[in-house]
Amino acid sequence: MQKLVLASNNAGKVKEFKALLAPLNFEVIPQGELGIPAAEEPHYTFVENALAKARHASAASGLPALADDSGICAHALNGEPGVLSARYAGEPADDVANNQKLIQNLLAYTDRGAHYVCALVMVNSANDPEPLVVQTRWYGQIVDRAKGSNGFGYDPYFFLPELGLTAAELEPAKKNLISHRGLALRELISQLQSRA
């Protein structure tokens, strides 16, 4: 199995990536297990932040690294919370507070459209001149009441009209098929295979 450092310590993301990458013979190692601290994320775009995280994890470990930067963008709020999704309500990161702030900020709007974004970046080394870069979107709506217990982050409030369910009501295997992260990973896998 090829070792791959995941530039995240988010338990939900680690679980999803391990499940999605297991069939490809990648041993996914969260950066925290190697004592690698989180990278700075000063950028305004998901792609730039993901690239910074991947290069940081690869430099610290000497291994290939995979990073994602993801979040939710509410259309009525001009894309907020965007890259600030994890800490929308401030430090420390708190899913309950983040969701409360998002719903409060949307009260004045009838447009509840939103989309999750996932930017995935994989580097073979810290100075890789050709990182693999993928960015995908998953569309839905923000609802006022939480439903489901399978997801994390904004999932209990992210409603999928075509399914009549929130992301947190989906079985994990189903979510991995249709989510922003699942779509991005499949596209990344396609790019990896085309390079082989």
Q: Count CA atoms closer than 13 A to 63's CA, side-chain side.
A: 19
Helix ranges, the chain (H): 11-21, 46-61, 95-106, 172-178, 180-195
DSSP string, 100-113: HHHHHHHTT-S--E
Q: How confident is the model at residue 23 (pLDDT cuts 50, 70, 90)?
A: confident
Mean pLDDT (the chain, rounded): 93
Q: In this structure, which amino acid lies at residue 130?
A: E
Return the pLDDT at 196.
Answer: 62
Out of 90-94, 172-176, 190-194, pick the least confident: 190-194
On the question of pLDDT at 21 being above 90, the answer is no
- Calculate what percentage of the chain has a pLDDT beyond 90: 78
Helix ranges, 85-141 (H): 95-106
Residue with tokens 């409603």: 159
Mean pLDDT computed over 169-176? 91
On the question of pLDDT at 94 being above 80, the answer is yes
Domain edges within the chain: 2-195
Q: How confident is the model at residue 17 (pLDDT cuts 50, 70, 90)?
A: confident
Extended strands (E) in 78-160? 113-123, 132-142, 158-160
Q: How confident is the model at residue 22 (pLDDT cuts 50, 70, 90)?
A: confident
The verdict on whether 69 is a catalytic residue reads: yes
Backbone torsions φ then ψ of 26, nearest 5 degrees: -100, 130
Question: What is the per-residue pLDDT across 112-149, written as a single tens digit (0 to 9) for each?
Answer: 999 999 999 999 999 999 999 999 999 999 999 999 99
Thinking of the domain 2-195, which architecture would CATH place it in?
Alpha-Beta Complex (3.90)
Q: Find the catalytic residue in 69, 94, 128, 155.
A: 69
Q: How confident is the model at residue 156 (pLDDT cuts 50, 70, 90)?
A: very high
Residue with tokens 């709007």: 109
Return the pLDDT at 26.
Answer: 86
CB of 180 within 8 A of CB of 120?
A: no
Of 49 and 176, the structure prediction assigns the larger pLDDT to 49
Return the pLDDT at 12.
Answer: 77
Q: How confident is the model at residue 104 (pLDDT cuts 50, 70, 90)?
A: very high
Residue 16 neighbours by CB distance under 10 Å: 21
